[in-house]
Amino acid sequence: MKFDLLETALLLGGIAFLAGCYGLLYGVGRLAQRQSIMLAGFACYAFLCVLVAVIVSTTPLAGPWKAIVVVFALGFLGIPPVTWRFLERTHPHRRRS
Amino acid sequence: MYRSQQLALKYLAAAIVIFGAMVVAGLMSAYYYINPDFLFGLLHFNISKTLHIDTLVIWLLFGFIGAVYWYLPEEFGIEPVGIKAAEVLFYVLCAAIAVVTLVFVFIQYGPSNEVGMWLVNQGRKYVEAPRWAAVGIVVVMLVFAYNVIGTAIRARKITGIVGVLIVDLIPLIVLYLDAFPAARNMSVDLFWWWWLVHMWVEATWEVLIGCIMAWALMNLLGTSRRIVEAWLYIEVALVLGTGILGLGHHYFWIGTPQYWLAVGGFFSAFEPLPLLGMVIHAIYDAGTHHMKTTNRPAFYWMLAEAFGNFIGAGVWGFMMTLPQVNLYSHGTQWTVSHGHFAFWGAYACGVISVCYLVLQKVRGSAFLDGITWRWAFAALNVGLVGMVGALLISGFAQAFIERAQGGSTLEAFIAGQENFWFLDGMYARFAFGLIFAAGYVVLAYDLLTIGRRLPVHAMAVAE
Amino acid sequence: MAKVSQIEDPQFWRAGAISIVLVMLIVLIMLTVDSLAAITVGGSHVPPYTVINQKIGYKLESSRGIDVPTIGEKELLFQHEYTPAEAEALIDKGKLVIQSRACMDCHTFFGNGAYYGPDLTKAWLDPAWEGWKGITGAETRAEAMTRFLMDPVKYRTWGRTMPNLHLSREEATAIVAYLKWMAAVDTNGFPANFGQISVNQ
């Protein structure tokens, strides 16, 4: 188990980092109204899913932790669009423009 | 300008000075790792480390207190109550900090009895200050609470932000009372100590900086109070919702029951999710204002806060928070890497941002920008990210060699510390520390002169 | 329409924030009550101070899958059997010495503190003390630790030398007792595999 320590940690960090990249590109894509940037964001998310698959299949994490990683990875998918819609609803100047 | 705002300027100026002291003590602490004979017999690592982490707490706290004294009269439109006492206490507190520093540097150790605890060094991480000084901090915070609550009562008005602030001050003060006991049982000692350290840093401080950022956002971007308050309540719900039981990630290995592995692991793994929401919010705000603002440095430092918080607390935290990883990463340079990144992102950038907002008002600049702040911004962030990266490499080497391979004995510890990956990390950390220190000098110069320089240039051109 | 106004209403979010915080605090308080019972001296995770009169070990417990401390037959510390009152006084002194010398700003206890010196959680069990017996000319591990603590500069370990903190014999003895008691605390398996692997292998 110990020899998978660094790989596991880097995979977990990679998931959170890619979630950030996805959020960043999603937000910038929405602002610039550029489909290509948003697609890059979703590509980051797809890569994140690959890392989740690697974690589930190869690392020594216990079953419940793997389940939590999967659930939170799904949570990352939803946060940018949900937050964005909430912000648009609550910021009146944006709705008018 | 209100008297409370003049006091705010003193607090913010003192915060930047203490920030400098923290940088110096940090460089010293980093240097011990590459030259262990440095000042041997005169001043040892534990004193420089104490100064480094205690000044960290103090400068951020000064920044928060200063920011509140600045925005409080604007919030209520009257001079805050009890400012005279607060002014006196500011000088008392500065004198106390100077005395404690001198005691740490020149006396260092006291006798192993109550006298030593009261007068010299309590030796508990972050709350090393002797008890007499801790009493002083309690008094300052009580007067600070009196200023806030008394002003709200006199103005016969309570806003959402001030309401949150007042509720937050209660745990802030009550938790600090754990700076006094010396519990015999290390497990009990650390149990309550984490209530203080975690609940300050990952709960009450988060709420405090949330209140300050709410004022700053209204000030910087002209966001409406209704939006800012809704956002503040959501932040409180998310930060405390994950942070209160996130305390569990400190209860994995201190003698507490095994269920904390599940509780702490779950709630701290949750923490990156709200932080991602904050990143989206920052992008939205930046975008809807088309990156246009009258205060460039404040705006960029606020963006650095959102991204730094996500990467430092979110990514670095997620990497090491699950118990199976934490068993090996806990208490290594890996933790140090996370600590530096998270403190920087969550608090330091925010306090610097507030400094620029306040200076814009003080210097009466319609538009705050320049070249100098960019150099400071670049050097500080490059220095910090470099330090954190270097520490991570050292931490990986240490966790792997000392913990996973070696079984954590003295022999394993030495093998880890003498490994070339570890040592190279330590050299790189020191080098990036120097870049960070250079950034600090530029920042201090810029804060002193920004908004003043432009008229001088204009005059020179006119001549 | 009602939904939209609710989402924009700060009061709605305030109620949410208060409820979440209250629920979390109640859970935390319940867990705290339970944990304090476990970590009080003599509780399920923290042994009584008189454990310093016994032999301490650290072994894999297969039912939990982690290393846990073992408390064995009588093994006196400094050839003295401490009564409960004496043991408590000694541990009390040990804690005050540890605080007065700011040990925690170089070392870690249960992994908490500073990372310049080695972790002290299981320091009592460290195999290195066997070698120290020869170096210090001591008969027992406890005596070797005491002599080292009283003059660490004389017994330099490696590149980083522990400074002389001017400990009296009484103070050094108290620290040794403290470390022995601490080694018997159940830390959920931290550190893992302590002393079971040699780096040189």
Give me the pLDDT at residue A5, please.
86
Q: Give residue A36's Cα distance to chain centre.
A: 18
Cα separation, A56 vs C66, in Å, equals: 23
Q: pLDDT for B138-189, tens place per residue?
A: 999 999 999 999 999 999 999 999 999 999 999 999 999 999 999 999 999 9
- Structural domain tally of chain B? 1
User: Does the residue B149 lie in any domain?
Assistant: yes
Bond prior to B171 in cis (omega within 30° of 0): no
DSSP designation for B310 = I
User: Does the residue B358 lie in any domain?
Assistant: no
Q: Is the ipTM above a cut-off of 0.90?
A: yes
* Least confident segment among A4-8, A46-50, B393-397: A4-8
Average pLDDT over residues B25-41: 96
Find where tokens 């209403």 sit.
Answer: C9
Domain boundaries, position B85:
1-157
User: Does the residue B32 lie in any domain?
Assistant: yes
The verdict on C29 touching B (C-beta cutoff 8 Å) is: no
Query: What residues does each domain of chain A span?
Result: 2-96
Cβ contact, residue pair C4, A89, below 8 Å = yes
Please, what's the largest Cα pairwise distance for chain B? 75
* Average pLDDT score over chain C: 92
List the beta strands (DSSP E) in chain C.
Answer: 54-61, 66-74, 108-109, 112-113
Structural contact between residues B268 and B293, judged by C-beta atoms closer than 8 angstroms: no
pLDDT level of residue B462 (50, 70, 90 thresholds)? very low
3-state SS string over B374-435?
HHHHHHHHHHHHHHHHHHHHHHHHHHHHHHHHCCCCHHHHHHHHHCHHHHHHHHHHHHHHHH
Please report how many Cα atoms fall inside a 13 Å half-sphere around the Cα of residue B416, on the Cβ side.
32
DSSP C3-30: HHHHHH-HHHHHHHHHHHHHHHHHHHHH
Average pLDDT over residues C72-101: 96
Cβ contact, residue pair B244, C21, below 8 Å = yes
Residues of chain A found within 8 Å of residue C8, distances taken between Cβ atoms: 89-90
Structural contact between residues B64 and B9, judged by C-beta atoms closer than 8 angstroms: no
Q: pLDDT for C35-85, tens place per residue?
A: 999 999 999 999 999 999 999 999 999 998 899 999 999 999 999 999 999
Cβ contact, residue pair A90, C4, below 8 Å = no
Average pLDDT over residues B88-114: 95
Cβ contact, residue pair B415, C199, below 8 Å = yes
User: Does the residue B128 lie in any domain?
Assistant: yes
Q: pLDDT for B36-75, tens place per residue?
A: 999 999 999 999 999 999 999 999 999 999 999 999 999 9
DSSP C31-47: HHHHHHHHHSTTSSSS-
Cβ contact, residue pair B270, A17, below 8 Å = no
Whether the pLDDT of residue C188 is over 90: the answer is: yes
Q: Which residues contact C115 (CB under 8 A, 6 or more apart)?
A: B331, B332, B333, B335, B336, B398, C108
A90: nearest CA partner in chain C: C8
User: Does the residue B35 lie in any domain?
Assistant: yes
CB neighbours (10 Å) of residue C16? 16
Residues of chain A found within 8 Å of residue B269, distances taken between Cβ atoms: 68-69, 72
Whether the pLDDT of residue A94 is over 80: the answer is: no
Q: Measure in Å the smallest separation between the Cα of C124 and chain A Cα atoms.
A: 24
Q: pLDDT for B201-224, tens place per residue?
A: 889 999 999 999 999 988 888 888
Query: What residues does each domain of chain C span?
Result: 2-39, 49-183
pLDDT level of residue A93 (50, 70, 90 thresholds)? low
Can you name the CATH fold of C49-183? Cytochrome Bc1 Complex; Chain D, domain 2 (1.10.760)
Cα separation, B336 vs B399, in Å, equals: 12
Cβ contact, residue pair A90, C7, below 8 Å = yes
Residues of chain B found within 8 Å of residue C98, distances taken between Cβ atoms: 123
Q: β-strands C54-61, C66-74: how paired?
A: antiparallel
Cite the DSSP H helix spans in chain A.
Answer: 5-32, 35-58, 63-90, 92-96
Query: What are the tokens at B238?
Result: 């998310």
Average pLDDT over residues A2-20: 89
Give me the pLDDT at residue C5, please.
65
Give me the pLDDT at residue B292, please.
73
